């Protein structure tokens, strides 16, 4: 497996692959990889001839009071996992390589003018998706992948990246991959490492609430407001849970809906101590 730290290295290698007629997949990550990330790599390996994984904690998507300085990292462990799952190249740049003006800032950002980035996570993280779109756009320009792979746990991010690719005419196919869960149901996240033992147990209320929501929908519930209220009440029954949001939105536009239909995204963000965790499900019928 190639370990590249510069943009020039990545471009040179990808050019060689493409000249040989090989397809290239990209899995963007912020490192501290787990089985959820591995599932993205596995999917990329099945669909592409060569796979590049970016391992970069992107400063532009963190607000001033967020966990940038404390974000977990284990690059050696990341490389071991990636090598075992068939990754061909890991791109591990410095902040100055990605943002040469210094201090992890840039004068040019990719932003959306509609409401998509201001819904759900964007209500409490106002600059987050500007940073996400900017770094993903840079990665697309550097790697020029044929396909890019994102997890469905970050459903709003996935929808925004799809819109960015459409609006800016990137020739990249965006592949969404299912949520991967621990044996007890908790959605895998690098931020799970922040949880204390009591918080880890309390966080199971998220997957339990997803199950509740799916059961209510399967039983015929069509009223989105009533479903959201029931799910909020279930989460609130856990004393260590602090709700950021529970919402039912259109899965493409992220706009609130009042009636549950096929494609409705039911999403939540909940804090347990220092950890802000996400979970969701999509109405299938």
Residue 166: HSE in the Cβ half-sphere, 13 Å Cα cutoff: 8
What is the C-alpha to C-alpha distance for residues 148 and 176, in angstroms, rounded to an integer?
Answer: 9
37 catalytic? Reply is yes
Instruction: Return the closest-CA partner of residue 51 out of 61, 30, 37.
Output: 37
Residue 214: HSE in the Cβ half-sphere, 13 Å Cα cutoff: 11
DSSP 131: H
Tokens 């001033």, located at residue: 64
What is the C-alpha to C-alpha distance for residues 84 and 10, in angstroms, rounded to an integer?
Answer: 21
What is the C-alpha to C-alpha distance for residues 99 and 106, in angstroms, rounded to an integer?
Answer: 6
Check: CB of residue 225 under 8 Å from CB of residue 262: no
37, 85, 92, 128: which is the annotated catalytic residue? 37
What is the C-alpha to C-alpha distance for residues 231 and 281, in angstroms, rounded to an integer?
Answer: 12
Sign of CA dihedral 107, 117, 253, 272: positive
Check: CB of residue 182 under 8 Å from CB of residue 253: no
CB neighbours (10 Å) of residue 220? 7
Which SS3 state, helix, strand or coil, does residue 267 take?
strand
Query: Edge-to-edge, what's the strand order for the sheet holding 242-250?
Result: 242-250, 264-272, 275-282
Q: Dihedrals φ, ψ of 122, to 5°?
A: -65, -20
User: Which residues are designated catalytic?
Assistant: 37
């Amino acid at each position: 497996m190639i370990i590249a730290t510069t943009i020039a290295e990545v471009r040179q290698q990808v050019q060689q692959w493409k000249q040989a007629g090989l397809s290239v997949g990209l899995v963007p990550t912020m490192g501290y990889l787990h089985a959820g990330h591995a599932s993205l790599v596995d999917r990329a390996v099945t669909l592409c001839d060569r796979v590049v994984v970016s391992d970069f904690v992107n400063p532009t998507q963190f607000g001033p009071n967020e966990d940038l300085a404390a974000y977990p990292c284990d690059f050696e462990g990341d490389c071991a996992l990636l090598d075992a799952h068939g990754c061909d190249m890991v791109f591990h740049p410095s902040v100055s390589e990605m943002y040469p003006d210094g201090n992890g800032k840039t004068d040019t950002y990719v932003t959306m003018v509609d409401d998509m980035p201001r819904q759900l996570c964007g209500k409490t993280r106002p600059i987050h998706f500007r940073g996400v779109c900017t770094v993903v756009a840079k990665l697309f320009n550097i790697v020029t992948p044929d396909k890019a792979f994102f997890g469905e746990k970050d459903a709003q991010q996935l929808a925004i990246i799809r819109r960015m690719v459409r609006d800016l005419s990137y020739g990249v196919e965006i592949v969404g991959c299912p949520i991967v869960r621990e044996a007890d149901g908790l959605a895998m996240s690098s931020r799970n490492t922040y949880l204390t033992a009591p918080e880890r147990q309390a966080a199971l209320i998220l997957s339990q609430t997803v199950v509740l929501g799916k059961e209510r929908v399967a039983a015929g519930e069509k009223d989105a407001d009533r479903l959201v209220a029931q799910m909020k009440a279930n989460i609130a029954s856990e004393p260590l849970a602090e709700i950021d949001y529970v919402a039912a939105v259109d899965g493409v536009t992220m706009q609130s809906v009042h009636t549950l239909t096929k494609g409705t995204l039911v999403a939540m963000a909940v804090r347990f101590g220092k950890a802000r965790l996400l979970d969701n499900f999509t109405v299938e019928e």
